[in-house]
Amino acid sequence: MQVTAMADPTPRLRQARAALALSFLLQGTTFALLVTCIPELQDRYGLSDSLLPVFLAAVPILAGVGSIGSETLVKRTTARGVLRVVQPALCLTLALTGLGSRLWELAVALGLFGLLVGALDASMNMLGVGLQHRYGRSIMIGFHAAFSLGGILGAVIAGLGAHWDAGLPVLFGGAAIVLVPAALVVGRRFAGPAELGDAVREAAELAARRVPWRPLLPLCAAMAFAYIADASVSNYSVKYLTDGLGSREDLAKLSYLGYMVAMLLGRAVGDRAVQRFGAMPVVRAGASLAGAGFLIAALAPAGWTGILGFTVLGFGICAIIPQVFAAGGRLLPHASDAAVARLNLFNYAGFLIGSPLVGTLAELSSYRWAFCAPMLLILAILPLARHFAPTGEQRIPDQGREELRGAAVGPGKDRVTPQ
Query: Quick one: CA dihedral 320, 321, 324, 330, positive or negative?
Result: negative
CA distance 363 to 301: 20
Q: Write the DSSP symbol of residue 240.
A: I
Q: What's residue 347's pLDDT?
A: 80
**Which whole number is the average pLDDT over 158-169?**
92
- Closest of 26, 34, 27 to residue 256, by C-alpha: 34
Q: What's residue 323's pLDDT?
A: 83
Q: What's residue 188's pLDDT?
A: 94
| 120 close to 186: Cβ distance less than 8 angstroms | no
Please report, as a single letter, which amino acid is at residue 302.
A
Cα distances (angstroms) measured from residue 367 to each of 154, 241, 359: 24, 9, 8
Give the mean pLDDT of the chain: 83
Higher pLDDT, 207 or 147: 147
pLDDT tens-place string over residues 324-379:
877 887 777 666 556 666 777 788 788 888 888 999 999 899 999 999 999 999 99
Q: What's residue 205's pLDDT?
A: 60
Higher pLDDT, 114 or 398: 114
- Closest of 266, 373, 386 to residue 322, by C-alpha: 266
CA distance 14 to 135: 10
Please report, as a single letter, which amino acid is at residue 405.
R
Q: What's residue 391's pLDDT?
A: 55
| C-alpha 400: how far from chain center | 30
Q: What's residue 63's pLDDT?
A: 84
Give the range among 5-9, 128-132, 226-230 with minimum mean pLDDT: 5-9
**Which whole number is the average pLDDT over 26-41?**
94
Q: Write the DSSP symbol of residue 419.
A: -
Q: Say how many CA atoms lie within 13 Å of 59 toward its Cβ.
A: 21
Phi then psi dihedrals of residue 364, to 5 deg: -80, -30
Give the range among 81-85, 131-135, 181-185, 290-294 with minimum mean pLDDT: 131-135
Q: What's residue 193's pLDDT?
A: 77
Q: What is the DSSP string of 266-331?
A: HHHHHHHHHHHH-HHHHHHHHHHHHHHHHHHHHT-SSHHHHHHHHHHHHHHHTTHHHHHHHHHHHH
Helix (H, G, I), strand (E, B) or coil at 44: helix
Give the range among 2-6, 166-170, 200-204, 332-336 with minimum mean pLDDT: 2-6
Please report, as a single letter, which amino acid is at residue 375.
M
DSSP run (H or E) holding 150: helix 140-163
Q: What's residue 337's pLDDT?
A: 55
Phi then psi dihedrals of residue 78, to 5 deg: -150, 160
Q: What's residue 207's pLDDT?
A: 52
**Which whole number is the average pLDDT over 5-20?**
81
Q: What's residue 178's pLDDT?
A: 97
pLDDT tens-place string over residues 234-284:
999 999 999 999 999 889 999 999 999 999 998 777 767 877 888 899 999
CA distance 226 to 222: 6
- Closest of 160, 363, 150, 381 to residue 249, by C-alpha: 160
Q: How confident is the model at residue 398 (pLDDT cuts 50, 70, 90)?
A: very low
**Which whole number is the average pLDDT over 300-316?**
95
The angle that helices 279-298 and 303-317 make with each other, rounded to 10 degrees, is 160
CA distance 94 to 31: 9
Q: What's residue 410's pLDDT?
A: 33
**Exposure string over 387-408, b if 16+ CB within 10 A, otherwise e:** bbbeeeebebeeeebebbeebe
**Which whole number is the average pLDDT over 294-314?**
96
Q: What's residue 201's pLDDT?
A: 59
**Which whole number is the average pLDDT over 27-52?**
93
Residue 405 has pLDDT above 90, yes or no: no
**Which whole number is the average pLDDT over 36-48?**
93
Q: What's residue 166's pLDDT?
A: 92
- Closest of 419, 370, 357, 364 to residue 390, by C-alpha: 419
Q: How confident is the model at residue 133 (pLDDT cuts 50, 70, 90)?
A: confident
| 275 close to 324: Cβ distance less than 8 angstroms | no
Residue 403 has pLDDT above 80, yes or no: no
Give the range among 1-10, 15-24, 51-60, 269-278 with minimum mean pLDDT: 1-10
| Count of residues in the chain | 419
Give the range among 122-131, 147-156, 288-297, 338-347 with minimum mean pLDDT: 338-347
Q: What's residue 402's pLDDT?
A: 43
CA distance 155 to 259: 10
CA distance 357 to 233: 12
Q: What's residue 1's pLDDT?
A: 34
Higher pLDDT, 411 or 268: 268
Cα distances (angstroms) measured from residue 371 to each of 231, 242, 305, 360, 365: 11, 15, 15, 11, 11
Q: How confident is the model at residue 412 (pLDDT cuts 50, 70, 90)?
A: very low
CA distance 342 to 220: 8
CA distance 298 to 214: 35
Residue 111 has pLDDT above 80, yes or no: yes
